[in-house]
Amino acid sequence: MPIRRFYRPKNFRPVKPILWFLFLLAVVGLFSVLAVFVIFARNLPNPSNLEDRTITESTKIYDRTGKIILYDIHGEERRTVIPFNEIPQAVKDATIVSEDKDFYKHHGLDFMAILRAVWLNFTSNSLQGGSTITQQFVKKSILTSERTFTRKIKEAILALELERKYSKDEILNFYLNQIPYGINAYGIEAAAETYFSKKAEDLTLAEAAVLASLIRAPSYYSPYGDHKGELIKRQHMVLDKMAEINFISRSESEKAKAQPLNFSKIRSSIQAPHFVFYVKGLLEEKYGEDYVERAGLRIITTLDWQLQNAAEEAVVAGADRNDKVGAHNAALVALDPKTGQILALVGSRDYFKDPLPEGCAPGLDCQFEGNVNVVTRLRQPGSAFKPFVYATAFKKGYTDQTILFDVPTQFDTGCNALGQPQSEGVKCYSPRNFDFKFRGPVTARQALANSLNVPSVQMLYLAGVEDSINTAEDMGLSTLKDRSRFGLSLVLGGGEVKLLELASAFGIFATDGVRHQPVSILRIEDGRGNVLEEFKDEPSQVLDQEVVRLVTDILSDNNARVPIFGPRSPLFFEGRPVAAKTGTTNEFRDGWTIGYTPSLVAGVWVGNNDNSPIKQEPGVYVAAPIWRDFMTRAFEQLNLSPESFTPPQPREVSKPILNGQHIINSEIHSTLYYINRDDPTGPAPSNPYADPMFNNWESAVRAWFGAITKPAPKTQSATSSPQINN
């Protein structure tokens, strides 16, 4: 039987196995997706019952004893459901613009937003979301906010099913009646009542934009917290977008931006509010806002309740006294320098003070907002920065007996001795002391103890701006990053710092150079009592102990500071060694006092939030009394016996200029004549004129000497040297 042959058409190609595999995979995937969808869709809760949603358990913040509740983060939810037609159109439009501009175009999922979020998550360090209003409603009212792939699948499926069952208006109605706006306010009606003391139907366009701006992060953007300015920026962005897509006109947008916002006064049983919201912010940054509100955590903080009361009373009493000199606000923070634990924190004189009215007349109400936490705000420290400069100089080999010259000096090489610029655009820098007096040659000890400005600028030049910033950063000051901004005025407080970091850094002087990071939480427990996190001290040596002992020896030397401060200033404690430094900024805008013992460090700031000046009163008059009042009470409450600081070891150096002598070989010259500033204990410079600052310093010393003496003989003994009153 002949073999039968089969012929194939020329264009015929066999189906490759890989195509069959892909086809089967697609079929299986499709059926899997459909199966999952059916399972979840079948269990979709009925949104009409979601108004009864309750929070499982609230998180509570306690003092260090675990007995006093400072704040219940989530008490009873306040929610009033209102019909969709009673919600102003401005609220609906602002919410859509803020959260999901294509809400009425998609079917529950915005695939372009999802792809954009995925791309940003892979190409940047920020975590971006692509959730629609429908998805947000599902997450906040049906599921949880946990960041897992499984939850995102559930969210997407439920969002699609929700869109299938309900109209867009119904979903938006569910959303606006359910979502949290912060301060336990759920839904737009409760939010309107909480923030503006009115019904939702009475909200203005400006107020509607504010509430829509809160949705993204209610705690962060709270008008009662530290980020009110960012809330207003977000409100303006929402109004601009509403105008862009023709929800409102451009003129309506601009008019709403200019409208005064009169926020309601917060009424709460909260204790130590500035401290509590500082802690709450740390918790939310680490665990997420939703988890903190729902998890029923027990937070044991470092706060000493008795010291907190003492701090609040000292701040209020001091601020009341200072009203007469135009300093209407004050802040205080106290820490244990041996552990870094925050014991007391008062961010402003009255947290519950009514918010500022727009365009208020000059006076008390315009000078501070109670909810602002100045302890964590940027302010210029004035002379309170000087110890970091002197510590840097001592590290390099300068001594507390180093001679500096408190004489009129130009510190810009483009200026002559008379303070006249030698070229266009040069600004001559010639600092003066608080009392407008000059004292001639002084030691570094005298200069720091009496907070003399000209010698301190000289010391910064000798120590180096870069190295001084390095010292400050090693000690915990984190806000001097843009070094190009800073010159010799840094020693007089030209760089902004935070009171909390400044006080913590001074604590390093109290602990022989050991740094303890400021900490506010001792322990975090979950709802079952399991410890999630517990304080563990991790000290680090950041300065040589002899350097800090020398700084402390100067700051606690009451005899050395008598010429400026007097023998019994607020910095002096009879029978108790206490180190302290004051500070006053240009035009008397800020007053400071930071002081410490081996077991307690406290810092006080006084001024006005709007940066308006005080009536020419330095820190020792406006801030030091508050600091002293608190320290006195703290010593009693903590039962702290007087503690002595460890004195520095005596140090011998051969250079006369480092040993307190300003007449050397019968001559008087500036410090730079004898010192190579990068090697102070080494040989004198062979050509001092090579230093760009030498001419200015030398001519200043010569002018001073010529002004106080008749023509001097060629030789002059040290005993016949003119005496300067220090």
Mean pLDDT of 17-46: 59
Q: How far apart are CA 129 and CA 107, in angstroms?
A: 17
Asked whether residue 305 carries a pLDDT value surpassing 80, the answer given is yes
Sheet holding 531-534, edge to edge: 69-72, 60-62, 298-301, 521-525, 531-534
Q: Is residue 545 very low, low, confident or very high in pLDDT (cuts 50, 70, 90)?
A: very high
Query: Quick count: other Cβ atoms within 10 Å of Cβ 361?
Result: 7
Residues above pLDDT 70, as percent of the chain: 79
Q: What are phi and psi of 441, to 5 degrees?
A: -70, 130
CA dihedral 569, 570, 573, 579 (to 10 degrees): -100
Amino acid making up residue 222 = S
Mean pLDDT of 464-477: 97
Asked whether residue 535 carries a pLDDT value surpassing 70, the answer given is yes
Mean pLDDT of 691-695: 93
Please measure the distance between the N-terminal and C-terminal CA atoms of the chain and give it in whole angstroms: 131
Q: How far apart are CA 433 and CA 368, in angstroms?
A: 29
Instruction: State the pLDDT at residue 361.
Output: 43
Q: What are phi and psi of 714, to 5 degrees?
A: -65, -30
Decide: 617 and 327 in contact? Cβ < 8 Å: yes
Asked whether residue 267 carries a pLDDT value surpassing 70, the answer given is no
Helix (H) or strand (E) holding 667: strand 667-668
Q: What are phi and psi of 661, to 5 degrees?
A: -105, 130
Instruction: State the pLDDT at residue 27.
Output: 63
Tokens of 160: 């699609």
The pLDDT tens digits of the residues spanning 123-135 come to 444 334 458 887 7
Instruction: State the pLDDT at residue 161.
Output: 74
Mean pLDDT of 705-722: 50
Residues above pLDDT 90, as percent of the chain: 55
Helix (H) or strand (E) holding 332: strand 329-336
Q: How far apart are CA 325 and CA 428, in angstroms?
A: 31
Decide: 405 and 458 in contact? Cβ < 8 Å: yes
Decide: 564 and 453 in contact? Cβ < 8 Å: no
Instruction: State the pLDDT at residue 194.
Output: 87
Least confident among 513-522, 540-549, 599-608, 614-623: 614-623
Q: Is residue 50 very low, low, confident or very high in pLDDT (cuts 50, 70, 90)?
A: very low
Asked whether residue 47 carries a pLDDT value surpassing 50, the answer given is no
Q: How far apart are CA 613 and CA 25, in angstroms?
A: 73
The pLDDT tens digits of the residues spanning 181-227 come to 988 788 899 899 889 989 999 999 999 999 999 998 898 899 988 78
Instruction: State the pLDDT at residue 59.
Output: 84
Q: Which has the higher per-residue pLDDT, 629 or 118?
A: 629
Amino acid making up residue 523 = R
Helix (H) or strand (E) holding 79: strand 78-79
Asked whether residue 56 carries a pLDDT value surpassing 50, the answer given is no
Q: How far apart are CA 653 and CA 350, in angstroms?
A: 53
**Residue 443 DSSP SS3:** strand
Tokens of 353: 């003070």
Read off the pTM. Answer: 0.74
Asked whether residue 91 carries a pLDDT value surpassing 80, the answer given is yes
Asked whether residue 57 carries a pLDDT value surpassing 70, the answer given is no
Question: Which of left, alpha, beta for 302 (phi over 0: left; psi -120 to 50: alpha)?
Answer: alpha
Decide: 495 and 585 in contact? Cβ < 8 Å: no
Q: For the chain, what is the mean pLDDT?
A: 84
Tokens of 461: 């030049």
Q: How far apart are CA 128 and CA 140, in angstroms?
A: 17
Instruction: State the pLDDT at residue 227.
Output: 87
The pLDDT tens digits of the residues spanning 370-427 come to 788 999 999 999 999 999 999 999 999 999 999 999 999 988 766 655 556 666 655 6
The pLDDT tens digits of the residues spanning 553-562 come to 999 999 999 9
Decide: 177 and 51 in contact? Cβ < 8 Å: yes
Q: How far apart are CA 365 and CA 112, in angstroms?
A: 48
Instruction: State the pLDDT at residue 534.
Output: 95
Tokens of 161: 């099913």
The pLDDT tens digits of the residues spanning 479-498 come to 999 988 889 999 998 899 99
Max mean pLDDT range (41-55, 176-190, 205-219, 344-358): 205-219
Asked whether residue 164 carries a pLDDT value surpassing 60, the answer given is yes
Q: How far apart are CA 119 and CA 570, in angstroms?
A: 60
Least confident among 139-143, 300-304, 630-634: 139-143
Torsional sign, CA 251, 255, 257, 263? negative
